Structure 1
C-alpha cells in the first residue's frame, strides 16, 4: 500500500512537471473564500472554479474531457503535494467537484488547489482551509455570520446555516438550539422549530450568539455539525425616516472675529435602513471643502446605537478665519435611502466690543463724582453762598426782615474793634450778610435813623450773633429778656455765640444762655450755636 502511494505521488509530480511549461490560468489564492470548519466534524468544499471563475459547470467540463485534480500545501509549507484519498474509512474523498472530509483534523489546515485541465487547457485556483477548535460553550476563533432581526417587527426566524448536502432529505437529524451556553427551552419569546428558531417579538435583549447542533447518521457512523451565528436586533423599517440634522440649527449663531478659529459641527441622526448608504458632507458657497482655496479641515466621527441607528458628525474647522470667510455660506448635507436634507449654518462676524472705551468712560465718571464730592465737602459753604447770591431769592422780602444778623457785643475796646473791623469785614464784605451793629446803625451818624430802640432792630434781624471776650452776660445784651417778653411767638432766628480769647467758664455761660432762651422765648428760636 505504501509502495502504491509512492508510485502515485511520483506520477502526479511528473504530470505537474511535464505541464509546468504549458500555459495555465492561475487565479491565485482566493482569500475571500477562506473556509473555517470545526475539528472532528464533517466538511464539504466545492471547487470555486465552477462558482466564480468559469462559465460552465462540472458536468459540462467533464463531458468536454477536462479532468479535475486536487492538491494542497500544508500549513507553513511551500511544497505542493497530492491529497491522499486512500485514508482509512475514506476520511478524505472527492465526489465530482466536492472535496469531503469525514471528519476534519487539525493538521488538515492549509491551502487547497483545484485544477481543471486537459492536454490543451489548464485553469486552477487555490483557497485556504482552517480547522479550528471549540470549547464546551462553542467559543472559537471562527468568524461568525451575523443575522439581523427587526426590533418589535412581529414573528421572525433564523435557520441553521450551511447544512445542505451533508445528509439525504429522507434522514431526520436531531437538532438542538443554544443561546451562548444555555439550551433554548421555555424561553419567553424564542421558540425552536426544527431547523428554524422563531422570535415572537425580537427585543434588544435577544442579541447574542445562537448555535444549532445537528446530529445525523451515515454509514453506521454518527456525525455532528455545529453552526453558530450572531443575532443582532436592529431598528424597525417602520421607524425608518430621512436623515435628521441636529446641528447646525436656527437657534445657534456662530459669531467670530477675524483671526479666531471657526468650528461648525454637522451632526446628523440616521435611522437604520438595510443596505442604505448614510452620507454626510459640507459645502462652502456650493462647493465641497476640498474644491475651495480655504484652509479648512473636516473630521468625521460616528456614534452607533445598539439598534444600529447612528449619529454622524462632521466637524468643519478653519484655524484662522478671515472677514471674507465669515460672509460665506456653509451648508450641511445628509442623505440616505429615504431622502436628502440640508441646513445652513448661521455664521456672522462678531460686533466690535468697546470694552476699553466703556471702562475709561466709567472710570472718568467715578473720578469726577469723587472730585465733586470732595469739593462739596470742602467748599459747601461757598457754594451755598454763591447760589444764594446768583440764583436764590431774597429771604428778607418774604419774612419782612431788613437785616441778616443783629450783632450784640460788650462795650469795651477789644470787642468793638473785633465787631466793627474783623467781624463786619468778613460777614459783610466777603459773605454779603447785612449786619445790624447797634453802635453803628442806631447811633447818630449810623445807617439806620429809625427812632425805635434796640428791640425793633433785633426783631428786624434774621439772627442774633453775640460777641464778647469775657464770656459773661453783660453790656448791650441785657435788653434781651424784654425783647423776648414782648415778642413771644414771633421769633424765628438762630443765635450764634462768638467768643474771643480763652474761656474760663464756658459751660456756665452756655447754660445761662440756654436758660434765658428757654424761659423767655416760648418757642420759635431754632438753636444756640457756641463758637
Structure 2
C-alpha cells in the first residue's frame, strides 16, 4: 500500500538543504529538546510503508501553519530527526547508510519492521524551538511483487466512464533525484501490463487509460525500483480505480417519483386486413362520452403500428388522460375502427381499484391458523379422551370373539405387588370398568399343573397385563412363563395383546430376554403411585386405550360366566 502522509510540506521552501547527508553519530537528545514547544498531537502525521522497501519522511508542518510561518520568517533554523524511545528519551535514529537525513527529509533504505514508532522532527534556531511528531507504521507484506489486496491501504482514483485519465504512481515524486533513474512496473489485479487488453497503456512510467470502461476497475499496483549506493531499492504503491458516471451527463437533481401529473393510459389494438379495392385509409379513433377525440389535434392520443404482414396491419392506439381524477371514472370510453367493409366499436370499462384488503386477507388467513393452533392444542391435551370416544363409537365389541376372559394379570408373587393387583388393578377393572379379569393364584383349581393351566388361561384371554417390578425379571418364575406365553400367542395367532405396566422402576441391565423383546414392540404404561390412583388420571386412560372394547351393558349374568369369572364375583 502507498505511504500516505495526511499533512506534509517542504521545508525547503524556506531553508533548503540545511543539513548535509554526511554520516553522523548516535546522539542522546534527552536534554536538547526539553525546552522546545510541543506540537498538537491531534495533528500527528502517519506514514505507512512496507517492510523491506524504501521510505522517506518530509517536514510534516503545512505551509498554512502559524508556527511554520514564524520559523520560516527567521533565518538560520535547523531541522533534526529523533526517535522516541520506550523510556521517553529521544535519540537520533541515523544509522548510515540505511537511515540518513538529507535536508528536511529522513530516508530509510530500506525500512525494517523494528523502525515502527514515533519520530520527532525538531525545528530550531537561536530563538525558537518546536517538536513535531510523526508516526511511522512499517507493515509486513507477502513476498510476491504484486499486491492484489492492499487491506484498505491504497489511493482511490475515480474516473468517469468513457473518459481518459493519466494515473501517476503515488509518492514517486518524493523519491526523485537528479542522479537517480527509476524503473516502474504496473499490474492490474496482479496481471502485468503486457497482458492487458483495451484502451490502456503505459507512457513515461505512467498509467494511461484512454477510454474508461467498467471492467477497468480494480487495484493497479506500481512497483518502482532504483539503485542506491550500488544496492537495488524498491517501493510498492496501490491505486484503486473506481468508475463513475460520465461527467457529460446532466448533474442537476431530478425527482423521479412522485410524478407531477397522474397519467392514465387506455390501449386499443385493432387488426386491419388488407383490402385491394378500398379507396381510403382505415380509421381507428377514440370517443369520450360519444364525442370523437381528434387524433391529430389532441396531444393525449398516440398511434403505433405494431405489425404489417402480407398487407394486414395491426395498429395500437393509446388514449392518455393526464391528471386523472374521480370524475374521469364516470365517463364512457369507446374504441372505434372502420374500413370500407364496416365499422366496429368496443367500450373500455374503467373500474376503481381500492386499497388491497389487507385486513380482510389477514383475518381470512389468521382465523383458520388460530383455529388450527387451538385444535392442535386441544388434541395435545385431550388426545386420550378423543381416542377413547372414537373407540366407544366406531370400534366393534370384542366380546363376540369366543374368548372367556378380557384380561389376564401376570405379576411377581410378593405381598406388595399382590396387594396392588388385587386391591387396585383388579378392583377398578372388574367393578368400575366391567371387564372379566383372571388371576392365576385366585382363579386356578387346586391339583392342576401350573404350566398347563397358565397356557390355558393365557390362550382364553384377550389381553395380558404384565406388572413389571424388580422381582419380575428373576428367571425360573411363573411370571416369566406367563410373559413368554403371552408373547408367543401374540406373535403366532395375533388375537392376544400384551400390556406392560411398570409398577416399580427396573434397571434395564437386569431385564430378561423376553422382557427386552416385549419392550421394543409394546407401549409401557407407568404407575405413579397416588398420582395415578384417581380414575381420571392418565394411567387409567392409557390402560383403557389398550384394553378390549367392551360396554358394561353387554356384560352377561354371573351364572353364565366361566369358573374364572365366578371366582371374581366371589372375591368382590
| Same fold by TM-score greater than 0.5 | no
Taking structure 1 as the reference length, the TM-score comes to: 0.41
Structure with greater proportional strand content? 1
Taking structure 2 as the reference length, the TM-score comes to: 0.38
